[in-house]
Structure 1
Amino acid sequence: MQTGFRGWGGFWPQAAMAGGRDRLVACIGACLGMLLTQWISRSALGQASPWFIAPMGASAVLLFAVPASPLAQPWSIVGGNLVAASIGVACAQWIPDQMLAVGCAVALSIGVMFPLRCLHPPSGAVALTAVLGGPAVHQLGFHFVWHPVLLNSLLLAALAILFNNLAGRPYPHRVPIPTSHATADLPPIERSGVSREDLHAVLAQHGGLFDINEADLQEILLQAEMHAHQRRFGTLRCADFMAKDVITVDAHTPVALAYQKLQQHRFSALPVLGEDAQLVGIVSLHDLLAAQFSPDDAGTRVWQVMTTEVITARPEDLITSLVRPFSDGGLHHMPVADPAGRVVGMVTQSDLIAALFHEPLP
């Protein structure tokens, strides 16, 4: 009895990990998408064809409910529907037997979408519509591919881009790209953790198609590792191990004096302060070399050579949040600032390594 219950449990899937706001956004977006789709269908077919509205409704579920899915990206809907409509019309015209035409249209559409990286499940219904859509669709011939299919797909994708971004959900979904080291080596995190090759091997062994981007899966695994580390080793924060006696320079300090401070204290970078002692940049030996610095230069000021886009930490940030920017982000030093933007500490790679080494084991 217990075994049978477990077997039937597979028919009840895990709940979708979506909050109330995401569900509301999905519903509103789908509603707007269907209003647009129905209007275009009426203009092309003379009436709202249920055969054509159906695949667009399925596309709306993907674009507005799961916009991070590889199957929901703009090229997926535009390319997938364009391929499926073209193949569907061709099969309808060149294969007399309708049953055979239906099977060939869907099968060929899937076969072409795979190499073109535009796999989109509703496109199978588009191919089906081209064959079974009736006289209104058949009379359009290949014009059906451009209007309403391509036009509808482009406008639905554009609406998804606008609506999702206004709702605070980045779309198209951007895959995080690790910092390049210009070498054949893997990024540091992948050398000791799960690499892209590891994922390839496991996914190939498992078989099947997963509705998640490979890079997203790798990021999820990394975040899970960080969460497990935090759970096992405690809550060590920046304030616990950062250097508090921070050597800084003013934005109007001559670069020659900044270079002297770097040499004197054997630092590779110094935070740069502006008015009210707030952080406005960071100046490093690399910045000085890039600016062709000369120790005799008395006219150039720090603000002219400093880096203004500074990644900072907060005193309360956990040590696990620093691992990624220091390892894969290429950082060697990170200022620690309070909510007002004032520098209260400095963390270096050496500080991070020492803190991880001295952290007590569970």
Structure 2
Amino acid sequence: MRDWLRGFMPAPMGASLTERLRGCCGALAGLLVTGLVCTWLVGQGTFQGTPMLIAPLGASAVLLFAVPASPLAQPWSILAGNTLSALIGVTCAQWIPDPLLAAPLAGALAIGAMFALRCLHPPGGAIALTAVLGGQAVTEAGYHFALTPVGLDSLVLMLAAIAFNNATRRPYPAHHHATRPHPHQTADRSPMERVGVRPEDLDAVLRDYDAVLDVGRDDLDSLVQKAEMHAYRRRFGEITCADVMSRDVVAVRYGTPLAEAWMLLRRHDIRAMPVIDPARRVIGMISDLDFMRSPELDHYDGFEARFRQLIRRLTTLHADRPEVVGQIMPRSVRTVTEGTHVAELVPLMADAGFRHVPVVDGEDRLSGIIAQSDLIAALYRGGLVAPTGSVSAAA
């Protein structure tokens, strides 16, 4: 009996205070903008005789601003789900005189239609009932009710959600990616998928689950990856980037001549170097591959001569030829902190294709660098040592 009663207790909310405030502020802004826009349209004489906002729109706001990654909160769901449900509700109200029969039938048919058109949106069920039980104004509006306020409100609220969520760094709408990109653009699977959970594994589990899951497939994939990382940390203990990184880092500046940068790579027998500003903050990475990617080296004939010409220190200004590191280095760079667990480097170096990752300190200044060989050594070390610090049986 006690276990049964515990089922009524809500599970703890995982969202932080910031995320909760973001959802509240988004709903406030979205509903306010929707109300103002509809009021302005009615004031201009476009739509008259219908309510400005309808109650089910509050439920749509919960989905669009509190859980924008949900499959039930995507643009097609809100637009098609709400409008379709309104059309079904109006039809039931006009053809079935008894509201006690029309309302349940409208709700059931709306759910079935949303399933069929892949636009399941929970507030749609409330809109179907509103079309039947909404009172004289809704009844007189007839099918016009599906256009305004339902269609218009849904459109404006969706546009507000796109603007607000992306402005607060929550991607919306959520994009579906069938597979993780392979860094070498080949037909092979990414290294993480070869030994871990594959997309078809998730698809099979979702089919076996046989119920609507209010979590996007990509979000579920991300959760599985993070769970694997946590399991690794529990098994092998805490090995951070500070434990395995190289501290005596060879670095260059934006204005370092190409010839000097190339000589540093050869002298120290390394493949890449961080590019830093005067405050030792990382602004890029320069590697031997960046030299090879120069348009002047696209053809193999006379490659050596053109390469020497590329890195030769120039005495005159040539705007059409790169001369310093900053002109050929990639504009994007990924860094990690000293306290980052080495397990978090695996997706970066296996899936994202990074060969070297700079490590920064608490003030975001360069403190080390980790190469793929460093990561391999760290994983080997973790495989030999159990969480208690004793040598494992596998050794």
TM-score norm. by structure 2 comes to 0.78
Q: Distance between the aligned counterparts of 2:159 and 2:74, measured in 1?
A: 11
Displacement, 1:225?
1.9
Q: Which moved more, 1:211-220 or 1:53-62?
A: 53-62
Contact 1:287 1:305 in 2 (8 A): yes
Displacement, 1:350?
1.1
Q: Distance between the aligned counterparts of 1:102 and 1:180, measured in 2?
A: 51
Quick one: which of 254, 259, 264 aligns to 1:261? 264
Quick one: which of 322, 333, 339 aligns to 1:310? 333
Deviations 1:237-271 (A, max 9, x none): 11211122322333333323433433444432222
Q: Provide the secondary structure at the position in 2 that maps to 1:296.
A: helix
Displacement, 1:306?
1.1
> What RMSD, in angstroms, separates the aligned Cα atoms of the two structures?
3.1
Which residues in structure 2 correspond to 1:222-261 (within 5 Å)?
222-261=225-264
Displacement, 1:53?
2.6
Deviations 1:70-115 (A, max 9, x none): 2123332122112222333344456677666545544443344335
1:9 pairs with 2:34: no
Which residues in structure 2 correspond to 1:200-349 (within 5 Å)?
200-291=203-294, 292-293=296-297, 294-297=307-310, 298=312, 299=314, 300-349=323-372
Aligned to 1:353: 376
Contact 2:74 2:174 in 1 (8 A): no
Consecutive unaligned residues in structure 1, runs of 5 or more: none
Aligned to 2:172: 172
Q: Distance between the aligned counterparts of 1:352 and 1:278, measured in 2?
A: 23
Q: Which moved more, 1:284-293 or 1:209-218?
A: 284-293
Aligned to 1:123: 124
Number of aligned residues: 356
Which residues in structure 2 correspond to 1:107-186 (within 5 Å)?
107-114=108-115, 116-164=117-165, 168=168, 170-172=170-172, 174=174, 178-181=180-183, 182-186=185-189
Contact 1:87 1:127 in 2 (8 A): yes
Give the partner amino acid of 1:347: I
Displacement, 1:202?
1.9
1:187 pairs with 2:181: no
Distance 1:189 1:34, change over 3 A: same
Contact 2:358 2:370 in 1 (8 A): yes
Q: Provide the secondary structure at the position in 2 that maps to 1:53.
A: coil
Aligned to 1:73: 74
Displacement, 1:304?
1.2
Consecutive unaligned residues in structure 2, runs of 5 or more: 298-306, 315-322, 388-395
Q: Distance between the aligned counterparts of 1:163 and 1:250, measured in 2?
A: 38
Q: Distance between the aligned counterparts of 2:51 and 2:165, measured in 1?
A: 26
Aligned to 2:15: 18
Contact 1:270 1:283 in 2 (8 A): yes
Contact 2:85 2:127 in 1 (8 A): yes
Q: Which moved more, 1:275-284 or 1:150-159?
A: 275-284
Aligned to 1:59: 60
Q: Distance between the aligned counterparts of 1:250 and 1:14, measured in 2?
A: 52
Q: Distance between the aligned counterparts of 1:91 and 1:243, measured in 2?
A: 71
Give the partner amino acid of 1:118: C
Q: Distance between the aligned counterparts of 2:28 and 2:251, measured in 1?
A: 55
Q: Distance between the aligned counterparts of 1:54 and 1:101, measured in 2?
A: 19
Displacement, 1:164?
4.5
Displacement, 1:37?
6.0
Deviations 1:264-320 (A, max 9, x none): 444322222343444332112222222135222224222211113211122222212
